[in-house]
A = this chain, B = another copy of it.
């Protein structure tokens, strides 16, 4: 506006009158100002409707592309839900990926047509969360249970999910708990909750780590670890469904299915029907998570609001309750 005033040789107030269609200046001045504004491609801030919600996927080291996320059923269903819900609420969805969060990422969000940004936080590190805490923007962090998060957030209720699984297992049972290496906040929260809740049941508990990343192929040594640890009449609890599916495949291949009393996973990855052993799991309603995330963007509360969505218990390849 300052630039227009300078070129037209009028006051900023006169430019404001012209652009906002208010009286107080001559028609000639008004026409001149509007012409200059048009030449400068000036669009008055108030006239740009905030019509776009950004859904930002932060890939970090674990993944490289949108394509990677779309091959994983949980993320694919999140992306689909975002597309549907933003359309239904009358907003455009801008799907973006970055390999690393930094200051450049945030500068793009100053565009006046952006209502807010939902960040898929599954792979965010604690450094990423600290960085985000310093950013002033309408942000909702999805799927990251960091407690010190100073933006609004929407997460699965890992603690309730773990309690729901442990509720299915009798005291004193032989339990093999399998978790993966990666520092994914959801997985860490589950692991802590499992150790805490398992104490109340006095399980005959063995715990093993699978060295390779949960989503990748198992190594021979990992397969051997499962086989060596598996006792008769064992209930296996896996930190996530990807691990549960791998364990099922290993156990079936080595013909040790008779040793498994039950196999529990976490997150319904919706490929459980492929499993050679029935997997019981807890599943979160992705549609509810995405609905809440978009609503929090649109509400623009002045205070962070944290939403935790409970899970449903799912047996075998049955549908959700």
Contacts and interface: CB of A to CB of B under 8 A. Distances in A.
Interface of A: 147-148, 150, 157, 159-160, 163, 285, 288, 291-292, 295, 299, 301-312, 321
A305 B295 contact: no
A251 to B, nearest CB: 31
A11 B174 CA distance: 60
B308 A303 contact: no
A277 B288 CA distance: 46
Nearest to A285: B303
B308 A288 contact: no
Contacts of A306: 157, 307-310
Contacts of A312: 303
Point out which of A163, A291, A305, A311 has the most chain B C-beta atoms below 10 A from its C-beta. A305
B305 A310 contact: yes
Contact of A305 (B301, B304, B308): B308
A147 B288 CA distance: 20
17 contacts: A147-B159, A147-B160, A150-B310, A285-B302, A285-B303, A288-B305, A295-B295, A303-B311, A303-B312, A304-B310, A305-B307, A305-B308, A305-B309, A305-B310, A306-B309, A306-B310, A307-B307
Contacts of A311: 303
Contacts of A303: 285, 288, 309-312
A201 to B, nearest CB: 16
Contacts of A295: 295
**The 10 A-B residue pairs with the shortest CB-CB distance in the complex, in nearest-first order:** A304-B310, A306-B308, A285-B303, A288-B301, A303-B310, A305-B309, A307-B307, A288-B303, A305-B307, A303-B309
